[in-house]
Amino acid sequence: MTVSLAHDQQTSTAALPIGMFDSGMGGLTVLHECLVQLPGEHFAYVGDTARFPYGEKSREQLELYSRQITAFLEAVPCKLIVVACYSATSAALPALQREFRTPIIGVVMPGARAAVATSRYRKIGVLATEATVASGAYPRAIGGLDSGAEVIQQACPGLVDFIEAGDVASQALADAVSGFTEPLKARRPDVVIMGCTHYPLIRPMLQRFLGRDVTLINPAAEIAREVEAALVRQELERPGDVMGSYRFYTTGDVDRFRETGARFLQMPLTRVRALPLERLGGLVAP
């Protein structure tokens, strides 16, 4: 009887969605890889667009926002949560993993592992937001895997604003990308991590400015594999022969999220719900 109840409870938990959150649309690049890798899973995604962008926020703000959204996703409930934002992962992941019962995965370590495994000359570049660079999360993660690797970081303030607005091809964007990649390219890394979930959306432009000899790392595929491995370890995976569902929550404008998100994800976002900041118990960011 006890064994049967435990099995039923595990089966019920396996049917729950995977939670995921980001400051806006960038985390959809992670969701895309998870949908490809884990077609049978359900997903619940929160885009905190009312407080976008995260990359310019303080550690204290990022910890607060991350706690609020994680608490919401745990209450949905979800069987696993992915912090699909590098700034939030860098600032808040250890605290979230201590405070919440739901297993939580961040986005820094999977990219660090992929970069270390790919780099031939142990010179690894990182393009990221100001908050991620300031946190030192990537040098710590890479140093823990290869203490002799050189890590060259480049903050890209304002770059996510272009991408979040749907601009992936303007001259102003190209000028900004040129300015950010030039000092990094001068240090001659052979591998560069796209350390923000928005950046894969302009991968062709980044590759052109960095040159063909640089390998760009998109951690999203590595994150999807880590999610799958975590579900398998806990025996919480759903069978992949039946398509899972996905729903979205946004703290900002629902119609804008639906329209822009569909363009980013290249599939319809039919289930988008408003998530007022008051429901999260938070304050509107300055």
Rounding to the nearest 10 degrees, give the CA dihedral for residues 250, 86, 171, 221: -90
| Angle, vertex CA 63, rays to CA 60 and CA 44, nearest 5 | 150
SS3 265: helix
SS3 152: strand
Distant-in-sequence, close-in-space partners of 190: CB < 8 Å, separation ≥ 6: 119, 120, 121, 123, 213, 214, 215
The verdict on whether 85 is a catalytic residue reads yes
Of the candidates 34, 78, 156, 196, the residue annotated as catalytic is 196
The DSSP H or E segment spanning 92 is: helix 86-99
Of the candidates 34, 78, 85, 156, the residue annotated as catalytic is 85
**Distance between CA atoms of 160 and 165, rounded to whole angstroms?**
8
Which residues participate in catalysis according to the annotation?
Answer: 85, 196
